[in-house]
């Protein structure tokens, strides 16, 4: 049997063909020296790899090296590897002699099934909703015969509630992993690398919040299903200053490390509905994230091709400013939504999907920051960020840089959206209703500035036609444009 080469995001048992299969793992310091990652992301990945190596014991050869190529020079015998999750790694393993590349694992829909679905669409847009429904049928998830359980596919309407008027959702704290001696060793290594000047990180060190072992990941899953899933649906889009985790599962990081198979998480959630422990709207919202969005983004990463990452349909040319790249480390940002969201990223390497999309991504698009830089920033700054996750999510969904291949309209929003879905605006020095002047909300003004700047490029998109024409009726538009040009990339 060939030795199985396990990448750092292939850490669950399903990446081996049988329990005793010999394995190779390579810890490449070069990954962290080339780019500036969040400290807690580096910690999580190294901790997860070293924990997996400890579990495998004599079954694994664990090599530490500057690069993969250096490590492989010490390895004899043929290897097999499950297809890696980035173009760069995929090209690399396929260029090596004696390495058999197997189909990717850890997703719910195979590459073949996706390709067939995409080809059946012909010239029709590859809509997530249609992909998701077909996956529900094929995988027999939340189905009663040929009908969706509860008679409807989509509970988005129920799942977009604003936050309650209270400081937190009132749920118990999520279950947190306990750090051990492997974490101590990782922390000491990262401290030394930083001291030696080999690497530079963003964000703060902190207690490891995300699961690094399969055992921990299963614990997080059980805790989520028992205590958080029931409240997940209605408030999945809401944001509260005092509640960094809301009812989110915190499973994206262990899923993307390969510690859990997404279908086992889906089965647990469906069981919770079938046994009356969680409402259908919450369970459907969670299932949609896993067999819908997660797989959809994965397949589009490959489907759109290696050059997709360079798309820049809105010709966004500004560089990501330092205050954003450094996660507002100096505390200069006054816009409450942005400062709170950057604080979350700085402290945890994680905020949920709405602050990512409607605060961080929205601001980047409004300001016209380069989509490739924004993608790279998301990849490096989030504990669950990988190339495959961020390219389609940021280039297509968040920055509309593909001109509408993925999203039907730009996810741009003004202060009114943030005010409705959060408690940020009440304590902000800006006013979400004000477009021009000292109190002008940078998101509200930024929204109109974005539309005005891109009016020609967005012309013909019916989903944004009403807003484009409303912009022409704004008396203060020239002043607003002048104000936002002056604000530019300054920390708001």
**Binding ligand SF4 by CB under 6 A: which of 8, 177, 230, 442?**
442
State the virtual CA torsion across 352, 357, 360, 362 in degrees, nearest 10: -160
User: Given the complex with ligand SF4, which of 220 and 425 has the nearer CB atom?
Assistant: 425
Q: Which residues contact 414 (CB under 8 A, 6 or more apart)?
A: 432, 441, 443, 444, 446, 447, 448
Measured distance CA(163)–CA(422) in Å, rounded: 6
Q: Which residues contact 442 (CB under 8 A, 6 or more apart)?
A: 335, 338, 363, 430, 484, 487, 492
Which listed range, 71-79, 151-159, 238-246, 440-448, lies at the site for ligand SF4 (CB under 6 A)? 440-448
Contact criterion met (CB below 8 Å) for 21 and 13: no
Contact criterion met (CB below 8 Å) for 443 and 415: yes
Q: Find the shortest distance in angstroms from Cβ 471 to ligand SF4.
A: 18
Q: Find the shortest distance in angstroms from Cβ 491 to ligand SF4.
A: 12
Does residue number 432 form part of the binding site for ligand SF4 (CB under 6 A)?
Answer: yes
User: Given the complex with ligand SF4, which of 304 and 447 has the nearer CB atom?
Assistant: 447
Measured distance CA(413)–CA(436) in Å, rounded: 17
- 455 burial (CB, 10 Å; 0-12 / 13-18 / 19+) is middle
Which listed range, 84-92, 427-435, 460-468, 475-483, lies at the site for ligand SF4 (CB under 6 A)? 427-435
Q: Find the shortest distance in angstroms from Cβ 243 to ligand SF4.
A: 16
User: Given the complex with ligand SF4, which of 405 and 425 has the nearer CB atom?
Assistant: 425
Which listed range, 95-103, 178-186, 309-317, 335-343, lies at the site for ligand SF4 (CB under 6 A)? 335-343
What values do phi and psi take at 425, rounded to 5? Answer: -65, -30
User: Given the complex with ligand SF4, which of 129 and 439 has the nearer CB atom?
Assistant: 439
Which listed range, 49-57, 71-79, 374-382, 426-434, lies at the site for ligand SF4 (CB under 6 A)? 426-434
Does residue number 383 form part of the binding site for ligand SF4 (CB under 6 A)?
Answer: no
**Binding ligand SF4 by CB under 6 A: which of 186, 238, 246, 425?**
425
**Binding ligand SF4 by CB under 6 A: which of 443, 447, 448, 449?**
443
User: Given the complex with ligand SF4, which of 277 and 481 has the nearer CB atom?
Assistant: 481
Q: Which two tokens stand for residue 343?
A: 């604080």
User: Given the complex with ligand SF4, which of 45 and 421 has the nearer CB atom?
Assistant: 421
Contact criterion met (CB below 8 Å) for 431 and 457: no
Q: Which two tokens stand for residue 215?
A: 């055992």
Which listed range, 268-276, 349-357, 364-372, 438-446, lies at the site for ligand SF4 (CB under 6 A)? 438-446
Measured distance CA(267)–CA(283) in Å, rounded: 10
Q: CA 106: distance to chain centroid? A: 16
Which listed range, 165-173, 314-322, 391-399, 439-447, lies at the site for ligand SF4 (CB under 6 A)? 439-447
- C-beta nearest to ligand SF4: residue: 428
Q: Which of residues 225-254 bind ligand SF4 (CB under 6 A)?
A: none
**Binding ligand SF4 by CB under 6 A: which of 217, 229, 335, 391?**
335
User: Given the complex with ligand SF4, which of 135 and 418 has the nearer CB atom?
Assistant: 418
Alpha helices in 95-170 (DSSP H): 111-121, 128-139
Q: Which of residues 337-366 bind ligand SF4 (CB under 6 A)?
A: 337
Write out the DSSP string of 247-305: T----HHHHHTTSS-HHHHHHHHHHHHHTTSS-HHHHHHHHIIIIIIIHHHHHHHHHT-
User: Given the complex with ligand SF4, which of 72 and 360 has the nearer CB atom?
Assistant: 360
User: Given the complex with ligand SF4, which of 283 and 418 has the nearer CB atom?
Assistant: 418
**Binding ligand SF4 by CB under 6 A: which of 224, 286, 430, 447?**
430
Does residue number 328 form part of the binding site for ligand SF4 (CB under 6 A)?
Answer: no
Does residue number 23 form part of the binding site for ligand SF4 (CB under 6 A)?
Answer: no
> Phi/psi class of residue 106: alpha, beta or left (left: φ > 0; alpha: ψ in -120 to 50)?
left
Q: What is the Cα Rg of the chain in Å? A: 23
**Binding ligand SF4 by CB under 6 A: which of 50, 248, 288, 336?**
336
Q: Find the shortest distance in angstroms from Cβ 130 to ligand SF4.
A: 33
Let me know the angle formed at the C-alpha of 51 by 19 and 387, rounded to the nearest 5 degrees: 95
Contact criterion met (CB below 8 Å) for 170 and 299: no
**Binding ligand SF4 by CB under 6 A: which of 220, 280, 428, 451?**
428
What values do phi and psi take at 431, rounded to 5? Answer: -120, 125
Binding mask 403-422 for ligand SF4 (x = CB under 6 A): ------------x--xx---
Place of tokens 């509309």: 400
Does residue number 441 form part of the binding site for ligand SF4 (CB under 6 A)?
Answer: yes
Alpha helices in 35-167 (DSSP H): 39-56, 68-72, 87-94, 111-121, 128-139
Measured distance CA(384)–CA(390) in Å, rounded: 10
Residues that bind ligand SF4 (CB under 6 A): 335-337, 415, 418-419, 424-425, 428, 430-432, 441-443
């Amino acid at each position: 049997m060939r030795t199985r080469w396990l990448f750092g995001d292939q850490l669950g048992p399903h990446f081996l063909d049988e329990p005793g299969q010999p394995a190779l793992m390579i810890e490449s310091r070069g990954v962290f020296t080339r780019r500036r990652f969040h400290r807690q992301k580096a910690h999580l990945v190294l901790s997860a790899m070293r924990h997996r190596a400890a579990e495998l014991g004599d079954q694994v050869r664990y090599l530490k090296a500057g690069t993969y190529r250096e490590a492989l020079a010490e390895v004899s015998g043929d290897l097999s590897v499950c297809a890696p999750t980035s173009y760069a790694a995929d090209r690399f393993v396929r260029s090596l002699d004696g390495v058999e590349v197997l189909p990717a694992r850890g997703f719910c829909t195979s590459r073949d099934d996706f390709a067939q679905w995409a080809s059946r669409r012909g010239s029709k847009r590859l809509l997530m909703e249609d992909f998701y429904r077909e996956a529900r049928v094929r995988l027999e998830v939340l189905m009663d015969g040929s009908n969706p359980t509860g008679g409807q596919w989509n509970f988005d309407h129920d799942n977009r509630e604003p936050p309650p008027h209270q400081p937190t959702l009132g749920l118990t704290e999520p279950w947190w992993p306990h750090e051990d001696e492997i974490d101590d060793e990782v922390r000491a290594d990262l401290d030394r690398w930083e001291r030696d000047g080999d690497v530079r990180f963003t964000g703060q060190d902190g207690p490891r919040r995300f699961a690094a072992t399969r055992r921990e990941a299963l614990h997080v899953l059980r805790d989520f299903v028992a205590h958080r899933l029931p409240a997940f649906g209605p408030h999945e889009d809401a944001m509260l200053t005092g509640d960094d985790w809301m009812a989110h599962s915190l499973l994206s990081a262990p899923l993307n490390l390969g510690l859990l198979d997404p279908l086992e998480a889906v089965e647990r959630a469906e069981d919770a509905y079938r046994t009356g422990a969680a409402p259908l709207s919450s369970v459907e919202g969670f299932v949609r994230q896993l067999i819908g969005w997660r797989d959809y983004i994965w397949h589009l990463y490959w489907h759109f091709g290696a050059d997709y990452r360079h798309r820049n349909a809105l010709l966004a040319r500004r560089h990501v400013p330092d205050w954003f790249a450094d996660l507002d480390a100096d505390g200069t940002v006054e816009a409450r939504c942005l400062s709170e969201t950057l604080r979350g990223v700085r402290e945890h390497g994680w905020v949920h999907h709405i602050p990512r999309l409607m605060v961080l991504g929205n601001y980047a698009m409004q300001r016209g920051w380069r989509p490739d830089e924004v993608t790279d920033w998301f990849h490096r700054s989030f504990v669950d960020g990988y190339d495959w996750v961020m390219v389609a999510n940021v280039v297509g969904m968040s920055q509309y840089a593909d001109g509408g291949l993925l999203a039907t309209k730009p996810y741009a929003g003004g202060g009114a959206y943030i005010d409705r879905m959060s408690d940020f605006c009440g304590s902000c020095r800006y006013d979400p209703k004000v477009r021009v002047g000292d109190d002008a909300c940078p998101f509200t003004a930024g929204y109109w500035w974005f539309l005005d700047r891109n009016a020609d490029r967005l012309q013909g998109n019916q989903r944004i036609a009403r807003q484009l024409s409303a912009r022409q009726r704004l008396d203060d538009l020239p002043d607003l444009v002048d104000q936002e040009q002056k604000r530019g990339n300054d920390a708001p």
